[in-house]
Amino acid sequence: MEIDPFIFRFSIFILSIFIGYYVVWSVTPSLHTPLMSVTNAISSVIIVGAIIAALAGETENIFDTANIFGFLAIILAAVNIFGGFLVTQRMLAMYKKKKKEIK
């Protein structure tokens, strides 16, 4: 009997949870705020769904209700992607180890 493709996706899902579990435990507590902002940015990969939803359908009829929701989702996700990665970058740039100070 053939395996439903859903089972494969579900396997990926479960294994990714485990990867996430071990990777996140190894994140140093002082970087927990950047961790939140970067997870925020990457969860905006939902934009791929938005792009498909927005651009799909006949080219003449791009302003179907379904497309409009796609376009709206694109704006929201774009704010998040740029905002999330850039603010993470800005925070991480501040974490410096200073040279021993001269007394």
Partner 1 sequence: MISSNLLAIFYLISGVLFILALRGLSSPETSRQGNLFGIIGMAIAIGVTIISVGNFSTGFLYLLVLLLIGGSIGAFIAFKIPMTAMPELVAGFHSLVGLAAVFVAISAFLNPEVFSLGSPGNIKVASLIEMSLGAAIGAITFTGSIIAFLKLRGIMSGSPITFFGQHYLNLILGIILVGLVFYLCKTQADIWFWTIIIISFLVGILLIIPIGGADMPVVISMLNSYSGWAAAGIGFTLENTALIITGALVGSSGAILSYIMCKGMNRSFFNVILGGWGATDQSSSNHSKEQKPVKSGNADDAAFLMKNASSVIIVPGYGMAVAQAQHALREMVDALKKNGVKVTYAIHPVAGRMPGHMNVLLAEANVSYDEVFELEEINNDFANCDVAYVIGANDVTNPVAKTDPQSPIYGMPILDVEKSKSVLFVKRSLSPGYAGIDNDLFYRDNTLMLFADAKKMTEDIIKSL
Count of CB atoms within 10 A of residue 22's CB?
Answer: 8
Q: Cα 7 to the chain's mean position, in Å?
A: 23
Eight-class DSSP state of 31: G
Query: Cβ closer to partner 1: 1 or 6?
Result: 6
Query: Cβ closer to partner 1: 3 or 35?
Result: 35
Please state the closest distance from residue 57 (CB atom) to partner 1, in A.
7
Which residues, 6 or more positions from 27, have their beta carbon under 8 angstroms from its beta carbon? Answer: 35
| Contact pick of 2, 3, 7, 96 for partner 1 (by CB under 8 A) | 96
In the region spanning residues 21 to 80, those forming contacts with partner 1, defined by CB under 8 A, are 21, 23-57, 59, 62, 64-67, 69-80
Q: Cα 10 to the chain's mean position, in Å?
A: 19
Count of CB atoms within 10 A of residue 57's CB?
Answer: 14
Query: Cβ closer to partner 1: 1 or 13?
Result: 13
| Contact pick of 1, 2, 3, 98 for partner 1 (by CB under 8 A) | 98
